[in-house]
Amino acid sequence: MAVPIVVHHFGWELLVYAVLSLTVVRMAPVALVLRRTTLKLRASLFIGWFGPRGLASVVFALLAVEELGTGADTAVAVIATTVLASVLAHGFSARPLATRFGPGLAPAAADRAFPASSRMLAR
């Protein structure tokens, strides 16, 4: 349903917004909220990059289409492009980033409590 809408609205603006949505728009608020915790900035950025998103956006897009019809086409194009970019970016980056940064993000107490899980993260 969204593919023809994305194709019709596709342009550099759509791509720029999708990239900004996956980076600055998502990661900055997460880092801001977590700044007073004991987490390091690297952990906050990791959480911001891999935090939950996607499904709710698709549901909201479907609700908008139901209520607004073609008036929601631009929003649907933005949401579909962003979710697709998210699936690709997070799918390709999950293993390398988790392997590189994951073990260093876990607190030492968690390593003692769950030694098998920390060995799995180190692979």
Q: Does residue 51 come out as left (phi exceeding 0), alpha (psi in the -120 to 50 range) or beta? A: beta
| pLDDT tens by residue, 95-113 | 887 787 766 665 554 445 4
Domain limits for position 108: 2-122
Distance between first and last Cα of the chain: 40
pLDDT at residue 24, rounded to an integer: 83
CA 61-8-3 angle, 5° bins: 50
| Total structural domains within the chain | 1
* pLDDT for 118: 47
- Return the closest-CA partner of residue 48 out of 36, 35, 58, 65: 35
pTM here is 0.64
Per-residue confidence (pLDDT) for residue 49, from 0 to 100: 80
Please answer whether residues 55 and 79 qualify as being in contact, where contact means their C-beta atoms are separated by less than 8 angstroms.
no
Give me the tens of pLDDT residue by residue for the chain, a chain 123 residues long.
777 777 788 888 888 988 888 888 888 888 888 888 887 787 788 778 877 666 777 777 778 777 787 777 888 888 888 888 888 887 888 788 778 776 666 555 444 544 554 444 444
d(C-alpha 25, C-alpha 19), whole Å: 9
Q: How many whole angstroms separate alpha carbon 30 and alpha carbon 122?
A: 25
**Do 53 and 86 touch, CB atoms closer than 8 A?**
yes
